[in-house]
Each structure stands twice: as C-alpha cells, then as structure tokens.
Amino acid sequence: MTATKTARERARAELTREIKDEARRQLAEVGAHGLSLRAVARELGMVSSALYRYFPSRDRLLTELIIDAYDAVGEAAEKADPGKGDPRTRWHAVWQATRAWAKAHPHEYALIYGSPIPGYRAPQDTIVPAARVAQAMAKVLLEADPHEPAVTAPMSAELRGQAESLARALGAHAPAEVVTRLIGAWTQLFGAISFELFGQYVGSVDPSDAYFEHLTGQMADFVGL
C-alpha cells in the first residue's frame, strides 16, 4: 500500500533486478541461445531452483529482457531527437541513435528484431514498447508537415483503411500516402540494421557507415521530408 514496502518486497524487487542484470550480462556474452538459468543462478550464488520463484520459466525471463530491450532502444531513439529544429537533422539523429544502440547491444537487438526464439509467441506486453522507435520517427515527420510525394501509386481500400486507423492510433491525422511511406521507412531502418548486424552486408556494403548515412537521407526523401 504505502510507498515503503515490506522488507520482503524490497528484497524481492532487488533480486529480480539483479537476476535480469546478470541475465543481460550473459546475454551479451553467449547470446540468447546460450543463456542458461543455472549459470545465472550460479553467478548470483544461489541455486537454480530458487530462480523459479522469480521467473516461472526461461522463456518468461527472455520475454522480460525483450520488453526491456524495446524500451531501451525506444528511449535511445526518443532522446536522440532534439525535438525542434531542422526536420532532416532530427530524422538523422533518430536513425543514427537507433543504429548505434543496436551495434552496442547486438544480442539484445537480435532478441527483439531477430527470429522469435520461444514457441512463436509475440507476447501482448511487447507491442506497446515495440512501437516507440516508430513513434519517434512519426513525431519528426508529422511535426514537419511533409509534402505529399510526387508520384503516388493507387492504394487498395484495405490498405487505406489500415493506414488511416494507424494514423488515428498515432494521434495525428496524416494522409494515408504519408503513413504508408512512414511504414516503409520504419521497415527500412530495421531491415538495414538487421542486414548489417546479421552479416548480410558482408561482401557488399561493408563497412556500412557510409551506406547507412546515404540511406538515411534517401528515406528522408522517400517520406517527403
């Protein structure tokens, strides 16, 4: 009830945090595939079974780490946006920050944008934090009232409906053409980061800094910035 919890609750909260921290540390070393509950417990000086008082399963621990990772990359993107000034500069900042976070936390990135690890679950808890980067991009774009793209292909009624309901969800009424292009840019951002981190650019654009830079500008054009 009150702000000061019982000793037990505080201990529990702290241990939960320590477990996640240690798991994150091991994740960075051995990847999601090699994350072992027993090893985490061992490192914390406890027995593996005790860990199940805090996380009912290994998958659940991973899910928590997934949510945290979405929030971390989302926060990185949001903080990078100065919030005012030249829209293209802001766009650039968001893209660079997202890529920088991914390169600094490759295993956490793989956890959220790689293949879904457990039994194909995309837990409901993840869809809100997962949208933060996209929302940061949308904020930059919509505050700059983009010009309509020169060439606009016809759009099916179904897609137009999806785009409009998505615009409503973002709390801004933007033309469907702009929304779909934003989705394209969002896809492109993570597609390029994934390709870079997962080794698909090896042999073509490697290192990828110059290309990513170029791509950032191209996609700013694409969305009408």
Partner DNA sequence: CAGCGTCAAGAGCAGTGCTCTCCATTTTGT
Partner DNA sequence: ACAAAATGGAGAGCACTGCTCTTGACGCTG
Residue 126 is classified by DSSP as G
Nearer to DNA, 48 or 187 (CB): 48
Supply the DSSP string of 196-219, one letter for each residue: HHTTTTTTSS-S-HHHHHHHHHHH
Residue 202 interaction partner, one of a copy of itself, DNA, none, beta carbon < 5-8 Å per kind: a copy of itself
Amino acid residing at 147: H
Nearer to a copy of itself, 2 or 156 (CB): 156
Residue entry with tokens 């090896």: 202
37 binds a copy of itself (CB under 8 A): no
From 14-22, 78-86, 135-143, 212-220, give the range in contact with a copy of itself by CB under 8 A: 212-220
From 10-18, 50-58, 106-114, 136-144, give the range in contact with a copy of itself by CB under 8 A: 106-114
Residue 148 is classified by DSSP as P
Rounded distance between C-alpha atoms, residue 9 and residue 7, angstroms: 5
Residue entry with tokens 């702000």: 3
- Each residue of 160-175: b (16+ CB within 10 Å) or e? bebbeebbeebeeebb
36 binds a copy of itself (CB under 8 A): no
Nearer to a copy of itself, 48 or 218 (CB): 218
203 binds a copy of itself (CB under 8 A): yes
Q: Which two tokens stand for residue 20?
A: 């996640």
Taking CA atoms, 22 is separated from 29, 90, 203, in Å, by: 11, 35, 35
Q: 112: which residues sit within 8 A by CB, 6+ positions away?
A: 66, 69, 70, 73, 126, 130
Residue 50 interaction partner, one of a copy of itself, DNA, none, beta carbon < 5-8 Å per kind: DNA
Q: 151: which residues sit within 8 A by CB, 6+ positions away?
A: none
Residue 96 interaction partner, one of DNA, a copy of itself, none, beta carbon < 5-8 Å per kind: none
Residues 137-176 binding a copy of itself (CB under 8 A) are 151, 153, 155-156, 158-159, 162, 166
* Binder of a copy of itself out of 192, 223, 224, 225 (CB under 8 A): 192
Q: Which two tokens stand for residue 180?
A: 């779909």
* Binder of a copy of itself out of 56, 82, 85, 116 (CB under 8 A): 116
The site for a copy of itself (CB under 8 A) is made up of 31-33, 110-111, 113-120, 122, 127, 130-131, 151, 153, 155-156, 158-159, 162, 166, 180-181, 183-184, 187-188, 190-192, 194-195, 198-200, 202-206, 210-211, 213-215, 217-218, 221-222
